[in-house]
């Protein structure tokens, strides 16, 4: 989930009367605990922009580690393997909406924090994949994040279904289990990456990552979003060092990538696929031009404002 690996799969929506906020907090606490304590395997459908894909998932909690493997069953071959939320290998591309960030670790949901940025409510009951569920709504308190409607398994607290809507009520993403087995613990063979799953290399240079966090800052962030991690990596094509900063509000996440242009000619861009946006803007600094790219499941206007607000603390940056 987004606060934890599987919540990266979750989506949202809201269209009911707020009620039972305390009960909603209890269910979100159960959700966070379930993903750190409950092994399972199953099949789910993922929808975005009117297109559907089907996936298998194996999720095992053992010896204090959470290991997870996702495999797309139709369309292009895609696979992701994670340990404690960190992507270990990928086949194809990081499954859109499901892969998350390679360097993003698992986090626990904090309902006390989330209620500052979302209206929490239990809004009804449902039945998904043959299992009874409770529906929890997370409605954003501002225009800088999306809302979630989570259908949580009554027995385990695991998410069985989620919808994500924008502020106009349009569906951005759907995640829904068609089959879930919580009794059969995935085996080593189930979790073993396929031969075409390529390892992801993330820089362990903590000094460089810390320097990135110290040098770069944002003049503006939506309320509730805080810096959660930073990293550096070498782009395999340009050979330049790309720095990244990740921010979250306890549920939603976005990343800011900073890459020196070294004289390259590029144009500003803005794209959106479902809820995922990517906004790139050139930033001129005394050290040279930098391409700032904001990627995440946030409204595109919010991403643009964040991109334009990035500053180099070592000097006064100019647009």
Contact 279, 307 (CB under 8 A): yes
159-199 pLDDT, tens per residue?
999 999 888 878 899 999 999 999 999 999 999 999 999 99
The domains located in the chain, with CATH, are 18-199 (2.50.20.10), 206-315 (3.30.200.100)
Can you list the residues of the chain whose pLDDT is less than 50?
Answer: 1-19, 99, 102-105, 316-319
* Residue 175 to residue 166: CA distance in whole angstroms: 15
* Residue 274, pLDDT score: 85
- pLDDT, residue 196, reads 94
Which pLDDT does position 12 carry in this prediction?
36
- pLDDT score of 206: 62
Q: What's the distance, CA 246 to chain centroid?
A: 10
């Amino acid at each position: 989930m987004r606060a934890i690996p599987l919540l990266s799969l979750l989506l949202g929506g809201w269209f009911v009367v707020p009620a039972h906020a305390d009960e909603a907090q209890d269910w979100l606490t159960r959700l966070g605990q379930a993903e750190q304590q409950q092994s399972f395997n199953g099949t789910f459908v993922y929808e975005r922009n009117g297109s559907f894909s089907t996936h298998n998932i194996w999720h095992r909690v053992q010896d204090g580690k959470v290991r997870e493997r996702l495999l797309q069953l139709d369309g292009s071959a895609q696979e992701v393997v994670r340990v404690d939320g960190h992507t270990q290998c990928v086949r194809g591309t990081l499954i859109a909406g499901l892969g998350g960030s390679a360097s993003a670790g698992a986090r626990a949901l904090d309902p006390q924090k989330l209620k500052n940025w979302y209206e929490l409510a239990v809004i009804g009951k449902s039945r998904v994949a043959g299992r009874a569920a409770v529906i929890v709504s997370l409605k954003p308190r501002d225009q800088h994040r999306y809302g979630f409607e989570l259908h949580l398994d009554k027995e385990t607290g695991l998410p069985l279904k989620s919808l994500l809507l924008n502020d106009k009520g349009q569906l951005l993403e759907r995640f829904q289990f068609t089959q879930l087995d919580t009794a059969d613990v995935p085996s080593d063979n189930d979790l073993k990456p396929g031969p075409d799953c390529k390892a992801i290399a993330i820089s362990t240079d903590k000094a460089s990552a810390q320097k990135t966090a110290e040098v770069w800052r944002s003049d503006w962030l939506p309320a509730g979003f805080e810096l959660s991690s930073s990293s550096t990596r070498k782009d395999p094509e340009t050979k330049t060092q790309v720095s990244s900063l990740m921010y979250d509000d306890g549920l939603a996440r976005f990343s800011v990538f900073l890459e020196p242009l070294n004289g390259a000619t590029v144009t500003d861009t803005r794209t959106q696929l479902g809820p995922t946006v990517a906004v790139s803007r050139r930033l001129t600094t005394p050290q040279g031009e930098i391409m700032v790219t904001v990627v995440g499941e946030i409204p595109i206007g919010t991403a643009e404002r964040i991109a334009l607000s990035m500053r180099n603390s070592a000097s006064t940056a100019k647009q």
